Amino acid sequence: MDFLKDHSIENELLLIFISVLLGILIGAEREYRNKSAGLRTFILICFGSCLFTILSIKIGVDDPDRIAANIITGIGFLGAGVIFKGDTKIDGITTATTIWATSSVGMAVGSGYVYLSILGTFLILLVLSSLNFFEKFIDNHHKIREYTIAVTDFQSVAHCEVLFKTYHLRFKVAKQKYNQGTLVTSWIVTGKNKNHESLMQHLMKDENIFSYEF
């Protein structure tokens, strides 16, 4: 049982203040990384979840989880709003899940479990910040890119396959399009990041390659 579990007016104000503070910590990390949901968004999410939880406890005496249960539904709509399709992948999923986790922190504060909410905030920041090292490590050894390469004939397509093998990259054709003498092929290419960089340097100088992008 937390030391603020017994609610009074003073304790409720303190809980709200704590929720704002924890929202600032999480929001500052997202703002620093220039994400779609930033400082103010996470402050309001944590504060709002805390306040709704307090109201749920005070209003729903016989059914205290009635309002609190709907917080999750509302947060689902907010999370969906920050997910969008990028050029080669779905972006915003991490921000959406951070919104979901921040809401749980606010609910923990509103319920009076301050120690639990502080631990939750610490773990959120740990996952968002400290684990970047592991993401970079994986990315350096298993980078997936979609290359769109324009050539003039099918022999040049075979030339691209030779290039991928030369730079130790695994590949497969995603789609092809022929238009006015230009054959455009989309390749899904996997391998070490340094091999991708070497391939890009080669593509810029290769006379068989009309254009490329990734």
* pLDDT tens for each residue of 30-79: 888 777 778 898 999 999 999 988 888 887 666 666 666 778 788 877 77
The whole-number pLDDT of residue 87 equals 57
Residues 121 and 152 in one domain: no
CATH of the domain at 179: 3.30.70.260
The whole-number pLDDT of residue 6 equals 52
Q: What is the mean pLDDT of residues 152-178?
A: 87
- The mean pLDDT of the chain is 84
Residues 121 and 21 in one domain: yes
* More confident call, 159 vs 59: 159
Q: Do residues 125 and 147 touch, judged by C-beta distance below 8 A?
A: no
The owner of tokens 């539904």 is 73
Residue 139: closest CA among 76, 196, 59, 188: 196
CA distance 162 to 170: 11
Q: Range of 48's domain?
A: 9-130
Q: Which two tokens stand for residue 203?
A: 């593509």
* More confident call, 16 vs 176: 16
Q: CB neighbours of 181 closer than 8 A, spacing ≥ 6?
A: 152
Other beta carbons within 10 angstroms of residue 169's beta carbon come to: 20
In a domain, 84, yes or no: yes
Residues 33 and 77 in one domain: yes
The whole-number pLDDT of residue 102 equals 94
Highest mean pLDDT among 56-60, 99-103, 158-162: 99-103
In a domain, 152, yes or no: yes
Q: Is the pLDDT of residue 113 over 60?
A: yes
| Helix, coil or strand: residue 214 | coil
Q: Do residues 14 and 29 touch, judged by C-beta distance below 8 A?
A: no
Which residue type occupies 184? V
Q: What is the count of structural domains for the chain?
A: 2
pTM for this prediction: 0.69
Which of 130, 159, 191 terminates a domain? The answer is: 130
